Amino acid sequence: MGISKTEIFTDQQNEISLFAKVFGHPARVAILQHLFKIDACICGDLVAEIGLSQPTISQHLKELKHLGLIKGSVEGTRVCYCIDAKNWSKMKLIILEFLNQDISIKEECC
């Protein structure tokens, strides 16, 4: 029905999928990569950098901010975005634990 049955899954499973979902769009991947690359606050030129309209970029930024992965600070008429390093680290721990499940696997089965 287009709606996920989150209630039948564990909090951990839902948390993993929420983080993964935000990385599930190339625009958000590109935004994060650009914020890391310039290694400083960037004000708004993400719209020029990535080829999407201003409202669309704003919407993607909103989702990233909602998960706490980026921070935005108002500077005059501009808004300055950057990575939230602490929350990024927390997210990394959660995703890494999921990705590293394979280290306990003994052998191929099929």
Partner DNA sequence: TTATTTCATTGCAATATTACGATGAATCTA
Partner DNA sequence: TAGATTCATCGTAATATTGCAATGAAATAA
Three-state SS across 91-107? HHHHHHHHHHHHHHCCC
Shortest Cβ 72–DNA spacing (Å): 5
Shortest Cβ 47–its own copies spacing (Å): 13
Query: Does residue 27 interact with its own copies by CB under 8 A?
Result: yes
- Binding residue (CB under 8 A) for its own copies from 44, 58, 63, 83: 83
DSSP 21-65: HHTSSHHHHHHHHHHHHHTS-EESTHHHHSSS-HHHHHHHHHHHH
Helix axes 11-22, 85-99, angle to 10 degrees: 110
Which CB sits closer to DNA, 72 or 82? 72
Shortest Cβ 107–its own copies spacing (Å): 9
For residues 38 and 30, is the Cβ–Cβ distance under 8 A?
Answer: no
For residues 27 and 56, is the Cβ–Cβ distance under 8 A?
Answer: yes
Which CB sits closer to DNA, 78 or 92? 78
Shortest Cβ 9–DNA spacing (Å): 9
Q: Which residue(s) pair with 73 in the sheet?
A: 80
What is the contact surface with its own copies in residues (CB under 8 A)? 4-6, 8-10, 13-14, 16-18, 20-30, 32-33, 36, 39-41, 50-52, 71-73, 80-83, 85, 88-89, 92, 95-96, 98-102, 104-106, 108-110
